Structure 1
Amino acid sequence: MVTVSVVYPATERFDHDHYGTVHVPLVGRHWTEHGLNGVTVLKGLPGPDGAPAPYALIALLDFADGESLQAAMAAPGTAEIMADIANFTDAPPTIQVNERVG
């Protein structure tokens, strides 16, 4: 299994409602047929010392394998997914591809 981490830095503008109600369903609609098995969304909260979270949100996208990820990224709907980012934040995400171990 391949998990893609999409990490959005904490900024003044991050619309969690849009992310959950529009963006995640958009991702599912376009990428499920290409091997997306699930999405986990983690909203950043203040730390134990009260310091603000460094990240507004971390999304973990699980794909069957690397070939499925490549197929999803090449799918026609990927352009719509990427264009939607501007609707909920001004900050570009950091994206990392990961392999599950253990």
Structure 2
Amino acid sequence: MIRLSVLYPAKEGQTFDLEYYKNTHMPLAGKLLEPVRYEVDKGLSGGAPGSPAPFVAGCHFYFESLEHYRARTSVHGATLRADMVNYTTIEPILQISEIV
């Protein structure tokens, strides 16, 4: 199983519309990428009590294989990147992981 994590770092002066992200962008991404499942995270705090969250939000897509992920993002990645202007000014951090 492959997981794509997309994380949006908390940065002063940057914007992030969580409602648009979870209600519009992520359903579109789910339809286009066809993952096994996906999750949306809202950052609450860092590891220490009272510390700010390092990320305002993020998501995790789960795919059966790296090939499926690559095939779907090669076709639909540009569409999803173009939609980013509708919910954020933050450049995300992406990581592809193998679930072991």
Shared fold, TM over 0.5:
yes
Corresponding residue number in structure 1 for 2:53: 53
| CA deviation map 1:7-27 (0-9, x unaligned) | 111134110000011110110
Q: Percent identity?
A: 35
Q: Which runs of 5+ in 2 are unaligned?
A: none
- Partner Cα distance (1:55, 1:91) in 2: 10
- Partner Cα distance (1:71, 1:51) in 2: 39
Q: Name the stretch that deviates more: 66-75 or 45-54.
A: 45-54
Q: Which runs of 5+ in 1 are unaligned?
A: none
Structure 1 runs of 4+ with >4 Å offset: none
Paired residues, number: 97
TM-score by length of 2: 0.89
Report the residue type matching 1:86 in the other structure: V
Report the residue type matching 2:3 in the other structure: T
Give how far 1:29 is off: 1.6
TM-score by length of 1: 0.87
Report the secondary structure of 1:90's partner residue.
coil
